[in-house]
């Protein structure tokens, strides 16, 4: 089969959580350019409309669902709505997240719950709801966003790493369990990437960001397009024999 065919997502339905802005929107655009029909899930209706307009201007059509990804009932209802429109979900990208980054002893029960809910619970429940659909189809690609900080023990990331480490573990467990059904599970683990959230962090804690970049041999943060390229590969037929992997996109900050 030609490389062009292996990269073709025509007719595939891709659900991207946290898909209205930043990295999620960049991933959605990459999948759309490969032919996927897009479903974006995010909290804010106005941001979803802006994302749809942005994608439409690039010739990519998408439907947006306003949904609190931490709410189990809301996620189940959102997936039901996607199935009503398309009858299937071929690709799930678990991008929604965003933890509270601070020294561990400064955390409160509330900030710890927020970090776990946004980064681990969202992935657990989205997989739990979408996986039966993929099993009926006999096909699926699940790509989750992890964190390279799990591997390098980055400053002030202990709670965040606990959540993202859970995502890494979920990936390998589900990959083992469902490989025979042609459903793959992989995680893309970026280091510091220039997203809106990271830009906010730079403004609030410029010295912390300098620390982040200091461990990257490339000497710069990653670009969202560099992460989206790896996600779109893992979501494609070209990656049919790749499962249970945590792939770092990190400029060399951790090396095997």
Residue showing tokens 């990656």: 239
Q: Is 186 helix (H, G, I), strand (E, B) or coil?
A: strand
- For 101, residues 6+ apart whose C-beta sits below 8 A from its C-beta are 156, 157, 160, 201, 208
Count how many Cα atoms sit within 13 Å of the Cα of residue 77 in the half-sphere of its side chain: 10
Name the helix (H) or strand (E) containing 147: none
With CA atoms as reference, report the closest residue to 8 among 236, 241, 231: 236
Structure tokens, 194:
């220039």
| Residue 160 designated active-site | yes
Phi-psi region at 120: left, alpha or beta (left = phi > 0; alpha = psi -120 to 50): alpha
The residues pairing with 38 across neighbouring beta strands, listed in sequence order, are 14, 62
With CA atoms as reference, report the closest residue to 192 among 223, 158, 237, 232: 223
SS3 content of the chain, % helix, strand, coil (to 5): 55, 15, 30
The catalytic position among 55, 93, 96, 160 is: 160
Handedness of CA 220, 198, 184, 1 (dihedral sign): negative
Enzyme catalytic residues: 160
């Amino acid at each position: 089969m030609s490389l062009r065919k292996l990269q073709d997502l025509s007719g595939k339905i891709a659900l991207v959580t946290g898909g209205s802005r930043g990295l999620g929107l960049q991933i959605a655009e990459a999948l759309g350019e490969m032919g996927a029909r897009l479903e974006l899930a995010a909290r804010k209706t106005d941001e979803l409309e802006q994302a749809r307009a942005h994608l439409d201007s690039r010739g990519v059509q998408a439907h947006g669902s306003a949904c609190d990804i931490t709410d189990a009932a809301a996620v189940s209802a959102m997936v039901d709505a996607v199935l009503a429109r398309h009858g299937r979900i071929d690709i799930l990208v678990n991008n929604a997240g965003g933890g509270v980054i601070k020294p561990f002893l400064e955390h409160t029960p509330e900030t710890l719950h927020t970090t776990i809910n946004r980064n681990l619970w969202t992935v657990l429940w989205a997989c739990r709801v979408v996986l039966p659909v993929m099993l009926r189809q006999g096909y699926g690609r699940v790509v989750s966003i992890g964190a390279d900080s799990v591997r390098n023990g980055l400053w002030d990331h202990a709670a965040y790493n606990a959540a993202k480490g859970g995502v890494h573990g979920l990936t390998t467990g589900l990959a083992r369990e469902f490989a025979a059904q042609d459903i793959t599970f992989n995680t893309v683990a970026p280091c510091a990437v220039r997203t809106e959230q990271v830009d906010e962090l730079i403004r609030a804690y410029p010295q912390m960001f300098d620390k982040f970049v200091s461990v990257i041999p490339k000497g710069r943060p990653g670009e969202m397009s560099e992460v989206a390229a790896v996600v779109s590969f893992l979501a494609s037929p070209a990656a049919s024999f790749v499962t249970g992997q945590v792939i770092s996109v990190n400029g060399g900050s951790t090396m095997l």
